[in-house]
């Protein structure tokens, strides 16, 4: 049978990209390959999670005060493991860990990147066979290469990201990543165990019909957010409303769907949580970067998420992300406040 050479694997694709940049060192390609490897390992465990004793709580509470699931721990260890053994990463920060980790060996200290990740997002969906995901973000170090990385490498504004991406463990498993040059999606072909380019040059449709947020919090949202939600529900020939409401509760799945189909995802501030729920560094910045490269927008309600200068590793932010026209419609409501 003829081999379809039109379908590039993740490795082939990153090497092809490298060829277009003769001065590039290939460190980012190896980093993405390492992340792809960890993703494949996590995927295997996610797929058999119902069969083995990996569901349920690990009996610990993470730095966010949430129960840690066993699969979270497994995923966290896999991503740390591949990045530590690789040659491109000086250190990591993870949603699951209190502090960042400096790899601090000769090869790592000479690496120019640090990586931040949420190893398994949507943890409330782990036990019930609903899509979950991994989110990652890559920054070039600002500290001196040759020495251990430092906290300032991790507290960079999101617009300094070199690459960002996510893996969705869904009905098929996909890895999507963005650099400033574009967003590309790869679907795992289980028969060869490789991520294959299936969604080249993803662009977020400028408009769509889907809005996603936790409706249960409606009375805890600011009045202008409530007004926008009500507008989403109204028949309107200018916007195409009423929109369709979709909320999986796994941000990776919700934002992935909206990125492909067009839509808006929101996790606003609530009366109980002034900064919402989602973490700037591990969840919002990577998606904001991906969305902007794809032609969409992401804000905290008043400013571009990518312009926020972080002050702590685990800070949260209200988050609005999606198709450009829908975001501008939302902004019209938020400006009234
Ligand atoms: P997690 O990191 O504990 O999994 O929480 C993040 C998740 C997002 O994937 C999702 O959008 C959100 O929490 C859902 O929260 P809620 O149940 O409050 O709507
Ligand atoms: Mg998370």
**pLDDT tens, residue by residue, 200-233:** 999 999 999 999 999 999 999 999 999 999 999 9
Mean pLDDT of 274-286: 98
Q: Is the pLDDT at 239 greater than 60, yes or no?
A: yes
Note whether 320 and 300 are within 8 A (CB): yes
Across 5-17, average pLDDT: 88
| CA–CA separation, 43 and 169 (whole Å) | 6
**For the residues 146-164, what does the mean pLDDT come to?**
98
> Residue 1 has what pLDDT?
47
Ligand 2 centroid to 48 CA: how many Å?
Answer: 21
The average pLDDT across 174-191 equals: 97
Cα angle vertex 84, ends 22, 151, to 5°?
90
Q: In CATH, what is the architecture of 10-199?
A: 2-Layer Sandwich (3.30)
Pairing mode of beta strands 210-212, 244-245: parallel
Contact partners, residue 144, CB within 8 Å, separation at least 6: none
Task: Respond yes or no on whether the N-terminal peptide bond of residue 242 is cis (omega within 30° of 0).
Answer: yes
Which residue has 């290939």 as its token pair? 26
Alpha carbons 41 and 90: distance in angstroms, whole number: 22
Residues 111-129 have a mean pLDDT of 91
| Per-residue pLDDT, 240 | 86
Best residue among 213, 249, 321 to mutate for probing ligand 1, ranked by most atoms within 8 Å of CB: 249
Ligand 2 centroid vs 284 CA: distance in angstroms? 10
> What is the residue extent of each domain of the chain?
10-199, 210-335
Segment 23-37 shows an average pLDDT of: 92
Q: Which of the listed residues 46, 71, 76, 122 should we mutate to test ligand 1's pocket, taking the one with most ligand atoms within 8 A of CB?
A: 122
Shortest-distance atom of ligand 1 to CA 66: 3
pLDDT in tens, 59-72: 666 666 665 568 88
CATH (one of 3.40.50.12240, 3.40.50.1110, 3.40.190.80, 2.60.40.10) for 210-335: 3.40.190.80
């Amino acid at each position: 049978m003829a081999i379809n050479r039109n379908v590039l694997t993740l490795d082939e694709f990153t090497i092809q990209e490298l060829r277009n940049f003769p001065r590039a060192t290939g460190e980012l390609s190896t980093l993405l390959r390492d992340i792809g490897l960890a993703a494949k390992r996590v995927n295997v465990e996610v797929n058999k999670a119902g069969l083995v004793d990996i569901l349920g709580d690990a009996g610990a509470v993470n730095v966010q005060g949430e129960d840690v699931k066993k699969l979270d721990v497994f995923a966290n260890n896999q991503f740390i493991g591949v990045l530590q053994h690789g040659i491109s990463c000086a250190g990591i920060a993870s949603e699951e860990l209190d502090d960042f980790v400096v790899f601090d060996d000769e090869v790592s200290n000479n690496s120019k990147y640090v990586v931040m990740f949420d190893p398994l997002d949507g943890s409330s969906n782990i036990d019930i066979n609903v899509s979950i995901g991994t989110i990652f973000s890559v920054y070039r170090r600002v500290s001196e290469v040759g020495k251990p990385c430092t906290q300032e490498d991790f507290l960079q504004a999101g617009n300094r990201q070199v690459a960002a991406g996510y893996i969705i463990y869904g009905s098929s498993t996909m890895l999507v990543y963005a650099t400033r040059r574009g967003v590309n999606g790869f679907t795992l072909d289980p028969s060869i165990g490789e991520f294959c380019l299936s969604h080249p040059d993803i662009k977020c449709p400028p408009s769509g019909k889907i809005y996603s947020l936790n409706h249960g919090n409606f009375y805890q949202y600011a009045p202008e957010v409530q007004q926008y939600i009500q507008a989403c529900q109204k028949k309107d020939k200018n916007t195409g409303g009423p929109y369709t409401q979709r909320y999986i509760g796994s941000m990776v799945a919700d934002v992935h769907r909206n990125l492909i189909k067009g839509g808006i995802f929101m996790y606003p501030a609530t009366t109980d949580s002034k900064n919402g729920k989602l973490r700037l560094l591990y969840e919002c910045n990577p998606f904001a970067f991906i969305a902007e490269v794809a032609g969409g927008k992401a804000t905290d309600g008043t400013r571009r998420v990518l312009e926020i200068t972080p002050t702590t590793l685990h800070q949260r932010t209200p988050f609005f992300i999606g198709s450009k026209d829908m975001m501008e419609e939302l902004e019209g409501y938020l400006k009234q406040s």
